Amino acid sequence: MSEGLNGTVFTERSWPEAQKWLLVAVLGLEMVMGVVGNCLVLLVKVMCRGQFCCRYWFPFISLTLSDFGCSLLIISGSLLAMLTGGQRSPWCEVVSLLKFAFITSSIGSIAILCVQRLIGMVSTKSAPFVFMMTACLASWVTGVVFGSVPVVYAWIKYDPAEMLCAVFWESSYSDMLVYILCAFSICIFLPFLLIVFCTLLSASSCRSSCNSDDDADLSAITPLLVASYTLCYTPFVVSELILLGRLDLSPAPDWLRTLSSVMSYLDCSLNPLIYCSHQDFREAGLALLWTNRKAPSEPVLTAITKHDL
């Protein structure tokens, strides 16, 4: 049993032992892959910047920081919740806020990257860096603002199916309807429409005029990032739409909410692998790892032997 923020008592789901440890193993693997992988990506982006072409640094850095934060804070929080049986305040509210902020910043960074890549195919200098930086920061701020609303109105409680604290409504369908429509329209659907629009235009432009510079740039992996994000966050969107369609405020099925958490965490782990699919980036990363070894010492002249002829 657990008590919600408004005093209501909720019955927690009891995981079968086999399913519990399977989820613990999956979450642990995703956390390690996400933390280690995104740390390495950040190191390569910062320390090996001149070894591969990347014209749009800020969206990539923003996306990697979001994936790293989610892996370090959210996945670890879910892992601990599975082991200890729940999350307590104030960490419960912080996790809920941060998860929405990371989701929003991730899709915002990918949308900005798609826009910049489309404009860059015409001219690499046509999109101001200040605008790109401001748009990325705006996606973080928007996520924090919308993530704070359920915390302020005490809509947060621990959900064993999602393995973290999530938003629940118990009395007002109108409040839930307004919040979900506003949050998803601004934070999810608008960036997604930009992604689809720019991806289609980029694909048609590539067919008409193939540019080797675009293929060499790190932004060439953008379609893979888009596909990964779309695949991994589809269960999350579906579960929210099911909630939106139920007048009795009952959430989506437990298995779907669990799947939505596991898949959204998977995206943070897959992105470093997607970066490594770019040959120049992969070679820069391998060079960074291998050149840290101590270089062999140069031969030193210690003596000269004179031979008489």
- Of residues 7 and 298, more confidence is placed in 298
Whole-angstrom Cα distance, residue 111 to residue 138?
A: 12
- Total of domains in the chain: 1
Contact predicate 43/288, CB 8 Å: yes
Contact predicate 229/106, CB 8 Å: yes
pLDDT in tens, 74-119: 999 999 999 888 888 888 899 989 999 999 999 999 999 988 888 7
Contact predicate 98/147, CB 8 Å: yes
pLDDT in tens, 27-74: 999 999 999 999 999 998 888 777 778 888 889 999 999 999 999 999
Q: Which tokens sit at 27?
A: 């979450």
Contact predicate 118/72, CB 8 Å: no
C-alpha 159 chain-centroid distance: 21
Contact predicate 221/278, CB 8 Å: yes
Task: Give the CATH number of the domain where residue 191 resides.
Answer: 1.20.1070.10
Q: Which tokens sit at 152?
A: 């302020």
Q: Which of 7-21, 108-122, 172-186, 251-265 has the lowest average pLDDT? A: 7-21
Residue 255 has pLDDT above 80, yes or no: yes
Contact predicate 265/75, CB 8 Å: yes
The answer to the question of residue 9 being in a domain is no
The answer to the question of residue 123 being in a domain is yes
Give the model's pLDDT for residue 123: 45
DSSP letter assigned to residue 295: P
Sorting pLDDT into bands at 50, 70 and 90, what band is 176?
A: confident
Query: Any bridge partners for residue 222, and if so which?
Result: none
The answer to the question of residue 12 being in a domain is no
Residue 180 has pLDDT above 50, yes or no: yes
Q: Which tokens sit at 193?
A: 């429409």
Residue % of the chain over a pLDDT of 70: 82
Q: Which domain holds residue 93?
A: 18-285
The answer to the question of residue 221 being in a domain is yes
The answer to the question of residue 183 being in a domain is yes
Whole-angstrom Cα distance, residue 219 to residue 197?
A: 17
Residue type, 167: V
Residue 134 has pLDDT above 80, yes or no: yes
Among 22-26, 57-61, 251-255, top mean pLDDT goes to 22-26
Among 92-106, 172-186, 207-221, top mean pLDDT goes to 92-106
The pTM of the full predicted model, rounded to 2 decimals, is: 0.82
Give kind and range of the element (H or E) at residue 48.
none
The answer to the question of residue 308 being in a domain is no
Residue 19 C-beta-side C-alpha neighbours within 13 Å: 10
The answer to the question of residue 69 being in a domain is yes
The answer to the question of residue 304 being in a domain is no
Residue type, 29: L
**Distances from the Cα of 229 to the Cαs of 46, 236, 265, 271, in angstroms?**
24, 11, 10, 9
